[in-house]
Chain A
Amino acid sequence: MDVLVCLKRVPLAGGTLILTPDAKDIETKHLGFGISPHEENAVEAGVQLVEQMGGSLTLLTLGPSDAEEQLRAQLAIGATRAVLLETDGQEWDPQATAAALVDAINAEETKFDLIIFGAESVDSAGYQIHVRVAHALNRPIVTNVKAMKIENGIASCERVVATGREHYEAPLPAIVTVRDGLNIPRYPSVPGRMQARKKPVDMKKAEPSVPKLEKLNLTIAPSKSTGAEILGNGADAVPALVEILKKIGALS
């Protein structure tokens, strides 16, 4: 079983976002980087499949050369090798990103049985790159997968919705996008980290195209309140809260 997992380097923003002076990006001077939560589940799923069935796990990302840090971190979890499509650091629009991923996948000697994406990136959440890649590779795609089994060449998938669970199947080779909750991502072991330093990361230059979805600027969404009204400290503040709950009709 040969598995490919696609990743994106994203800033690890805490509770507050700050923008660069030109308002085109998040100020990341004081931030660390990682991958999106769903992508951690994607890597874990890939590692588990290779543990169970043999084969290889390749990681693929498009981003600045610094994204090697995220690839190495996931190689330490158990991936076999990685490919970094190096940009000049600008974010690409979804169509250009999908096209570059497709070119890179087609250039690989390995015919991946399964390609896994996170259901959405934590930053831009465009909900489309995986579908564009599926169309270009003419593969079936199941999105938002919360449970998955591979049996007899079929990816059997569950999607959780408000009313329960939906069951889908996709014959391999297929593409899935997975959600947090699919599994519990493991932490890298010390030997894993040591090995990751020596694992191959192929660096390839990626040439940008003119974006059709062109980011102009960012603004911080206004937060609903200017801060909470402090009702008091500890249990002494409970009567004040109960009055408010009565006022908003929560106790009727």
Chain B
Amino acid sequence: MILVLVDHDRGELDPLSLRALTAARKLGQDVEAVVIGKDGAALASVVGEYGAKVLHVAIHADITDYTPQASGRALKELVEKSNPVAVLAAGSPRGNEQLAHLAAFLDSPMASDCSSITLGAPHVVHRARWAGNLIEEANVHSPLLIASIFPFSVEPESANAGAATVSEFQPTLEASDTVVRILSRDSGESKGGGVTLSDAKVIISGGRGVGGPEGFDKLEELAALMEGTVGCSRVVTASGWRPHAEQVGQTGTKVAPDLYIACGISGAMQHIAGMKNSKTIVVINTDPEAPILNYADYAIIGDLHQVLPALTSAVRAAKE
């Protein structure tokens, strides 16, 4: 049996978990899912649809919101009770964090960001390094495989199955397990339009070539016209031209919009890692040798300060 940690935020499913369920199903074993916190019980039909026969729900009075070490403790208890061959989760910050707590409790190895898994002795995984620019093949020497699934390595596929059977359990927690938990929240820093980087279908992104904070007006105009949002590279936030929340890359936000237009961005490894899964990538750059061209679908060689205004006019005309 393969156990999949399905992550949720106060009952709202993290869609990346469906990718983890899909990856688990492809390993040819029974799949069971686990959610931490009673709000997760509402996910029985969707995890069932994606192939889990059972949904274990960890319920405890002290788990009222995200509490990562308590998640690890609950997973440990479930693993010891149900003896799965693997525990998988989405390769998201939360997925990786909760699995790391499980791995630390069990003193077992953990492989993060896996794009393929072959169960055996040892288990063999392929995992992303350099944010997916390199693939590592690795042996995992442990009866239990703890692995997170690289978000873009598998598309979610429904199994068209019925709701999972809910099985509630109350984990035995220690006081230290619930010290670190979400105490409160603020809503996002996003600007008027309300399109966040991770939700945007169109991202107009600028780098060093934009030349300064004023240059971003041209990107803003096109983004507004295309109902998208503005992103930027690390050099831009490090120079204080744009807020950090707009940074795309391994150290900022990883994005996969339908259209990513990279303006004056040469393509450092860590930037590529954050945007290379975009459906269509267009580059506007004066340098025909810029590394980002290796990851792009289309390019215009030229100065973004001339190309963008012309593009904005043409897009406006085409939309009318």
Contact = CB atoms under 8 A, between A and B. Distances in A.
User: Do A and B form a real pair?
Assistant: yes
A6 B137 CA distance: 26
Contacts of A132: 100, 103-104
A17 interface: yes
**Interface residue tally of chain B, by bracket?**
35 or more
B138 A221 contact: no
**Residue of B128, B198, B302 with most partner-chain A CB within 10 A:** B302
B314 A239 contact: yes
A52 interface: no
Nearest to A214: B139
Contacts of A126: 110, 112
Given A179-B251, A181-B247, A230-B288, A242 B311 contact: yes
Contact of A164 (B187, B297, B302): B187
Contacts of B104: 128, 131-132, 134-136
Contact of B259 (A179, A231, A250): A250
A214 B141 contact: yes
A241 B311 contact: yes
Interface string B267-290: 111101000100111110000101
The interface residues of chain B, by DSSP majority, are classed as mixed
Interface in A101-136: 120, 122-128, 130-132, 134-136
Given A179-B251, A213-B111, A238 B314 contact: yes
A125 B186 contact: no
Interface stretch (A54-62, A70-78, A137-145, A194-202): A137-145
Contacts of B183: 167-169
B179 A165 contact: no
A57 B19 CA distance: 42
Contacts of B139: 213-214, 216
Contact of B300 (A15, A123, A234): A234
**Residue of B9, B101, B110, B189 with most partner-chain A CB within 10 A:** B110
**Residue of B99, B130, B133, B250 with most partner-chain A CB within 10 A:** B130
A233 B301 contact: yes
A160 to B, nearest CB: 7
Contacts of A215: 136-138
Nearest to B68: A143
A17 B299 CA distance: 22
B300 A238 contact: yes
A164 B188 contact: yes
Contacts of A38: 251
A30 interface: no
A94 interface: yes
Contact of B199 (A17, A162, A167, A219): A162
Contact of A15 (B199, B268, B303): B268
B109 A213 contact: yes
B180 A140 contact: yes
A132 B109 CA distance: 11
A225 B296 contact: yes
Interface in B178-206: 179-189, 196, 198-199, 202
Contacts of B244: 146, 180-181
A93 B136 CA distance: 13
A203 interface: no
A152 interface: no
B180 A142 contact: yes
Interface of A: 13-17, 26, 37-38, 93-95, 120, 122-128, 130-132, 134-136, 138, 140-144, 146, 160-171, 179-181, 184, 210-221, 223-225, 227-235, 237-239, 241-242, 244-246, 248-251
Given A214-B138, A217-B136, 10 more contacts: A14-B268, A95-B107, A160-B245, A164-B187, A180-B251, A218-B134, A225-B296, A242-B311, A242-B315, A245-B318
12 contacts: A13-B130, A14-B291, A15-B269, A120-B250, A142-B180, A161-B93, A162-B199, A212-B108, A224-B281, A229-B297, A235-B310, A248-B258
